[in-house]
Amino acid sequence: MMREQDIRKIEKIVLVSAIVLVLIGVAEIIVGYHTKSVGLTADGTDSISDSVISFMVWFGLRISRRQADKKFHFGYYRVETLVSLMVAVLMMAMSLYIIYNAYLRLKNPVELDYPLLGMITLIIGGFISFYLSIIKNRLAKKHNLLSLEADAKTSTKDWTSSFVILTGVFLSYLGFRWGDAIGAFIVSIYIICIAISTIKQASLILIDGFNNPELAVDVKEIIRKYPKVKLKDLKLRMTGPYITGEITLNVDNSMTIEKAYSIKNMIRHEIMKRIEGVKDLTIVAEPESTA
């Protein structure tokens, strides 16, 4: 189970990442302006947009740490999922902006100034983003945070786009002036694909969808271990980074209330121990005759 101190640590990493991305973006835009590279300018704009995304994720994580209150009885965990949806929408808008600028440059290609300076800037920015993406991906997988996973995807997209733009600038350096614009087009299409994937996943969680048949099988296998107990109904859902659920069991008519209560607790304890990310389970035991 993820602890509050883990979330605080992640918050710091995301905040530092946002500040670094702003610095990278500003540097690339300045160099892009002086080199006349639409790809470099687009990558700089992309980095600044990614920093906005990181700030949003940081804010979402801070809000999600709030305890349940009279208004939000189940806590603020889904703020983190909502933020990931907003991040994806922002990524879509960002990609359309890059496509538009790449189209204008493709129609009117120009020779780049100081292409070597542009390539060095892209290499440095790309490697920094690569390092950030590794850290975020590890934390997102470890703690099952969708907003951090979306942020990690933007960092992955950021360093891959930097090297795609680098290829475009290199082609322009060799005399293929369209290379810069083509690189920007490729990056924008990649951004759209990532955004669509994130929107699907976040939307599924927000409408209480749960698409993890393997986990459901694991829960059923745990219940089968207990004699005179049958699974009647299983309902699971994501609440931010956590899994919550309701389980209805049919127990043998001869079973005492105390025994049924004991089995319920053992099943609950084993599920929460074996399946990472399960925060809460409500288990109801009914006599088999009521099935």
Residue 291 has pLDDT above 50, yes or no: no
CB 243 within 8 A of CB 281: no
- The conformation of residue 233, written as its DSSP 8-state character, comes to E
CA–CA–CA angle 203, 207, 209 (5° rounding): 90
pLDDT of residue 2: 52
Q: Where are the domains of the chain?
A: 4-206, 213-290
8 Å CB contact between 88 and 195: yes
Q: Are the CB atoms for 237 and 246 separated by under 8 Å?
A: no
- Both structure tokens of 193: 């694909």
CATH architecture of the domain with residue range 213-290: 2-Layer Sandwich (3.30)
**pLDDT tens, position by position, 244-274:** 888 888 888 888 888 888 888 888 888 888 7
Per residue in 154-205, pLDDT tens?
A: 778 778 878 888 888 888 888 887 887 787 788 778 778 878 887 887 888 7
Task: Identify the CATH homologous superfamily for domain 4-206.
Answer: Cation efflux protein transmembrane domain (1.20.1510.10)
pTM confidence score: 0.64
